[in-house]
């Protein structure tokens, strides 16, 4: 029967036709128990027939999996259990390192369990793990195809490797508490589950419990239905997580007039997070005096020559519950990192089989930056007073449609000399998937601003709009994507991230794919077209970019683009500048010790935004993951931009040389204990003779961070570490040194277990 299905043309099969038959979860009987030990010898597992129908979707499309997988699913009144046996004829080739949470990557042997507890196939909670028991987790949003590994969930995995006997491979026992799963009330009788197995051998294999096309425009639409989830617990989880941070800061600055005093400050910060789940589909979160510092460092980026503000991902736990609900066609409609220093916050998240809702409000103590977008650059204003940030997002699922709405408000306090102000945004959006190959999206937003404090360009309206309409069609041979977006000059989103306003952008991509061409798994030439104009019709950007993509073994991808005659404008006056450029990227996962690398290069013309000119030069960006052992990983990263050259009497001079380096090394003592060392270096050098106004000849920042972490469970963590940084600016002769030593701890208490 499977052969008859596979013989049909791929494009003729709907997602429903390519799904496996529904899978049943087995309820455990009274007195039965599963001991998580990486073995499948419990009585429960012995009486459950395995689900073994897995299909390959990479590199080949919908053929029976080359290596067998057996999955059993059971549940009791507290948790969902999965027992998995991954057959493998040569377990010596397993790629199974100990890694940090959320670093279970595609180059490793792994499983990814994608569970949709409401059965709409619009979102999924992701649970990843490898044969060493390292884990990762996150959320997947089908409408935006966004896979976000920032959210963390409570779950347990125990693994073992079977190297002898008639069947060899590795075993995983997974326990996912129902307190972690966001199912509806009453629970939906049908969930959906997508189980993906990754293997690294002669190829990077992907197997799944559904016939997913290799080139699919949806993922969860092929998920297998999970039945049998009855008499589930009715919520009532109540977790309190007190936190404390002890730190000692030393700060000293100097300039040409001399050194300032050395200031040392000791501080103790106490806070608390509360999570209350009165019903399965509803979660209340609250935080008081949260301290998000020390443990994470943002990856350095090249910022000196940037035309627009740079985006940094959200990592703070309070903002991550239901993070997928905040996603919308405009990626920057909601950006919680705009809340820079929250004193307290509260949030309600509700999921149902037809709708999702989240409402968040937080008190921001200020001192962050407010983005003032324009057509040619991003302006900034300092948030000098406290503010209240409120965000609401609703999404309704109706068959192939998702209808959404959002509203945000940022209200700023008044202060002596500073009047009160506000920015509000409201709008609606939709996503329509008429087939498994086609997606259409649209969104319209209106912003309403009253802010007499910030200086903006004359004629900029206080109220304006943003609108987007796009589509994406993808099948086994073709990929068409395009759209139009328009953002008014007065549009502003203080709870979002819009770095540019006052433009209309029209774009289109054409791609033709051939598979299994000689040594390549895929060869795809493509053409990207785009034109962006301001509200007066003056050109901001235009590109016609032909390129070609090659896919090969070991997850190797190569892209080559010619970027001829690109037009770009940085200033109101004058004509757009012409830029010719060659671009190429290479990424691969070649083996265990070099498990992943990525390199991109842009050559020929480079834009010098400060000088409003095009100069010859290059950009290179590279990062990699090296594993010197199963416990020790090193991740180097470099971004470098060089442009312009002159021969002077005292030697050669560059217009701009900017570099950002990061070296991360982590040693894992156990799956819960690690020691992490991060070194960062940012530098900017400018040739004074290239500019018509004074520029600092050199700026640099160096940071070194050493942190030991012990992670007992979600919310119960202990960190001790030190950070040292040094900044130098040769223009004013400014120097600054800062050091910090800290101890940070949090404990999660299950109050509900004591009450109920």
> Does residue 474 have a pLDDT over 60?
yes
Q: What is the mean pLDDT of residues 473-486?
A: 94
Do 76 and 208 have their domain in common? yes
Which of 723, 743, 622 shows the shortest CA–CA distance to 676?
Answer: 723
Q: What is the CATH number of the domain that holds 362?
A: 2.40.160
Q: 292: pLDDT confidence band, cut at 50, 70 and 90?
A: low
pLDDT of residue 754: 61
The answer to whether residue 146 is domain-embedded is yes
Q: Which tens digits make up the pLDDT trace of 555-602?
A: 899 999 999 999 999 998 888 999 999 999 999 988 778 888 999 999
Do 480 and 376 have their domain in common? yes
Token representation of residue 744: 């940070």
Q: What is the mean pLDDT of residues 417-432?
A: 93
- The three-state secondary structure class of 78 is coil
Q: What is the mean pLDDT of the chain?
A: 90
Do 185 and 330 have their domain in common? no
The answer to whether residue 323 is domain-embedded is yes
Q: 10: pLDDT confidence band, cut at 50, 70 and 90?
A: very low
The answer to whether residue 690 is domain-embedded is no
137-151, 163-177, 255-269, 287-301: the lowest-pLDDT one:
287-301
Of 207, 227, 247, which marks where a domain is finished? 227
The answer to whether residue 182 is domain-embedded is yes
**CA dist., res. 621 & res. 659, Å (int):** 10
> Does residue 194 have a pLDDT over 90?
yes
Do 170 and 319 have their domain in common? no
**CA dist., res. 412 & res. 418, Å (int):** 10
The number of CA neighbours under 13 Å toward the Cβ of 18 is 33
Do 204 and 349 have their domain in common? no
pLDDT of residue 647: 60
pLDDT of residue 755: 58
244-253, 296-305, 731-740: the lowest-pLDDT one:
296-305
Do 321 and 198 have their domain in common? no
Token representation of residue 271: 């806070």
Q: What is the CATH number of the domain that holds 34?
A: 2.60.40.1190
Q: What is the mean pLDDT of residues 593-614?
A: 93
More confident residue, 270 or 694: 270
* Exposure letters 6-35 (e unless 16+ CB within 10 A, then b): beeebeebebeebbbeebebbebeeeeebe
Secondary structure (DSSP) of 548-607: EEEEETTTEEEEEEEEEEEEE--SSSSPPEEEEEEEEEEEE---SSEEEEEEEEEEEEEE
**CA dist., res. 685 & res. 656, Å (int):** 6
Residues in the chain: 756
- Contacts with 388 (C-beta within 8 Å, 6 or more apart), sequence order: 361, 362, 363, 364, 409, 410, 411
> Does residue 7 have a pLDDT over 60?
no
**CA dist., res. 272 & res. 674, Å (int):** 25
Q: Which tens digits make up the pLDDT trace of 116-175?
A: 999 999 999 999 999 999 999 999 999 888 888 888 898 999 999 999 888 999 999 999
> Does residue 100 have a pLDDT over 90?
no
Residue with structure tokens 């919680």?
A: 336
pLDDT of residue 650: 63
Which of 435, 529, 647, 519 shows the shortest CA–CA distance to 10?
Answer: 435
**CA dist., res. 326 & res. 336, Å (int):** 9
Q: 9: pLDDT confidence band, cut at 50, 70 and 90?
A: very low
- Give me the numbers of helices (H) and strands (E) for the chain, helices first please: 4, 46
> Does residue 236 have a pLDDT over 90?
no
Residue with structure tokens 């502003």?
A: 492
Of 501, 520, 544, which marks where a domain is finished? 501
> Does residue 635 have a pLDDT over 60?
yes
Token representation of residue 207: 């197997």
The answer to whether residue 335 is domain-embedded is yes
Of 471, 501, 531, which marks where a domain is finished? 501
Q: What is the DSSP letter of 730?
A: T
Name the pTM for this structure.
0.87
The answer to whether residue 334 is domain-embedded is yes
> Does residue 425 have a pLDDT over 70?
yes
Do 495 and 364 have their domain in common? yes
Do 222 and 320 have their domain in common? no
Q: What is the mean pLDDT of residues 210-233?
A: 89
Q: How far is CA 626 from the centre of its chain?
A: 22
Q: Is 359 exposed, middle or buried (0-12, 13-18, 19+ CB in 10 A)?
A: middle
pLDDT above 90: percentage of residues in the chain: 64
The answer to whether residue 255 is domain-embedded is no
Q: 44: pLDDT confidence band, cut at 50, 70 and 90?
A: very high
Cβ atoms of 285 and 347 within 8 Å: the answer is yes
**CA dist., res. 623 & res. 373, Å (int):** 31
> Does residue 752 have a pLDDT over 80?
no
The answer to whether residue 472 is domain-embedded is yes
**CA dist., res. 632 & res. 674, Å (int):** 10
Do 346 and 215 have their domain in common? no
Q: How far is CA 521 from the centre of its chain?
A: 27
> Does residue 724 have a pLDDT over 90?
yes
How would you classify the pairing of strands 26-27 and 69-75? parallel
pLDDT of residue 176: 96
pLDDT of residue 487: 98
Domains in the chain, number: 2
Q: Which residues pair with 356 in a beta bridge?
A: 351, 395
**CA dist., res. 700 & res. 434, Å (int):** 52
* Host domain of residue 452: 315-501
**CA dist., res. 680 & res. 432, Å (int):** 44
> Does residue 8 have a pLDDT over 70?
no
pLDDT above 70: percentage of residues in the chain: 96
């Amino acid at each position: 029967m499977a052969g008859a299905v596979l013989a049909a043309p791929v494009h003729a099969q709907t997602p429903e036709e390519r799904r496996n038959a529904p899978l049943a979860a087995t309820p455990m009987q009274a007195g039965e128990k599963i001991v998580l030990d990486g073995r499948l010898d419990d009585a429960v597992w012995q009486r459950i027939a395995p689900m073994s129908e897995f299909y390959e979707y990479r590199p080949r499309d919908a053929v029976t999996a080359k290596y067998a997988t057996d999955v059993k699913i059971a549940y009791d009144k507290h948790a969902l259990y999965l027992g998995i046996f991954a057959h493998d004829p040569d377990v010596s080739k397993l790629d199974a390192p100990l890694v940090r949470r959320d670093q279970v990557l595609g180059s490793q042997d792994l499983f990814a369990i994608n569970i949709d507890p409401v059965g709409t196939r619009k979102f999924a909670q992701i649970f990843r793990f490898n044969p060493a028991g390292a884990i990762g987790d996150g959320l997947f949003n089908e409408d935006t195809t966004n896979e976000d590994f920032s959210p963390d969930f409570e779950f347990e995995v125990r693994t073992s490797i079977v190297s002898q006997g008639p069947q060899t491979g590795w075993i995983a026992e997974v326990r996912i508490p129902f307190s972690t799963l966001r199912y509806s009330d009453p629970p939906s009788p049908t969930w959906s589950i997508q189980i993906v197995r990754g293997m690294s051998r002669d190829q990077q294999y992907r197997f799944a419990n559904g016939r997913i096309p290799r080139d699919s425009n949806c993922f969860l639409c092929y998920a297998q239905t999970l039945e049998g989830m009855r008499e589930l617990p009715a919520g009532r989880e109540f977790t309190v997580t007190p936190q404390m941070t002890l730190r000692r800061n030393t700060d000293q600055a100097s300039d040409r007039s001399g050194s300032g005093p050395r200031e040392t400050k000791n501080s103790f910060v106490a806070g608390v997070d509360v999570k209350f789940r009165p019903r399965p589909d509803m979660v209340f979160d609250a935080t008081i005096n949260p301290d998000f510092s020390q443990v994470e460092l943002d990856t350095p980026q090249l910022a000196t020559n940037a035309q627009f503000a740079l985006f940094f991902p959200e990592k703070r736990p309070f903002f991550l519950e239901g993070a997928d609900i905040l996603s919308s066609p405009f990626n920057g409609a909601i950006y919680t990192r705009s809340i820079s220093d929250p004193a307290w916050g509260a949030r309600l998240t509700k999921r149902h089989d037809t709708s999702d809702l989240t409402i968040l409000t937080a008190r921001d103590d200020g001192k962050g930056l407010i983005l003032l977008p324009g057509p040619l650059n991003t302006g900034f204003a300092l948030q000098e007073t406290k503010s209240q940030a409120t965000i609401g997002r609703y999404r309704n699922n109706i068959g192939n449609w998702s209808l959404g709405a959002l509203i945000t408000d940022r209200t700023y306090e008044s202060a002596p000399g500073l009047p009160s102000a506000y920015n509000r945004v409201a709008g609606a959006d939709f996503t329509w998937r008429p087939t498994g190959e086609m997606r259409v999206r649209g969104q319209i937003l209106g912003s309403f601003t009253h802010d007499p404090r910030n200086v903006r360009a004359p004629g900029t309206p206080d109220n304006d709009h943003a609108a987007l309409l796009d589509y994406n069609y993808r099948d086994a041979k073709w990929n068409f994507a395009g759209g139009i977006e328009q953002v008014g000059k007065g549009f502003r989103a203080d709870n979002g991230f819009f770095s540019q306003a006052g433009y209309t952008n029209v774009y289109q991509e054409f791609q033709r794919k051939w598979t299994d061409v000689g040594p390549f798994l895929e060869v795809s030439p493509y053409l990207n077209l785009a034109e962006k104009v301001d509200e007066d019709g003056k050109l901001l950007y235009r590109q016609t970019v032909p390129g070609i993509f090659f896919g090969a073994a070991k997850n190797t991808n190569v892209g080559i683009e010619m970027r001829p005659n690109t037009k770009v404008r940085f200033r109101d006056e004058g004509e757009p500048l012409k830029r010719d450029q060659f671009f190429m990227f290479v990424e691969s996962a070649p083996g265990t010790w070099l498990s992943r690398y990525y390199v991109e290069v842009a050559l020929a013309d480079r834009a010098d935004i400060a000088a409003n000119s095009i100069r010859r030069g290059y950009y290179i960006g590279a990062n990699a993951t090296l594993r010197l052992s199963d416990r020790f990983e090193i991740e180097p990263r470099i971004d470098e931009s060089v442009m312009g050259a002159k021969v002077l009497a005292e030697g050669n001079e560059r217009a701009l040389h900017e570099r950002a380096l990061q070296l991360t090394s982590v040693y894992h003592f156990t799956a819960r204990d690690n020691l992490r060392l991060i070194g960062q270096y940012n530098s900017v050098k400018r040739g004074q003779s290239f500019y018509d106004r004074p520029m600092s000849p050199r700026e640099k920042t160096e940071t070194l961070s050493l942190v030991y972490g012990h992670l007992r469970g979600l919310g119960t963590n202990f960190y001790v570490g030190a950070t040292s940084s040094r900044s130098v600016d040769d223009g004013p002769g400014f120097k600054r040194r800062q050091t910090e030593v800290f101890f940070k701890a949090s404990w999660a208490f299950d109050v509900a277990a004591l009450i109920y």
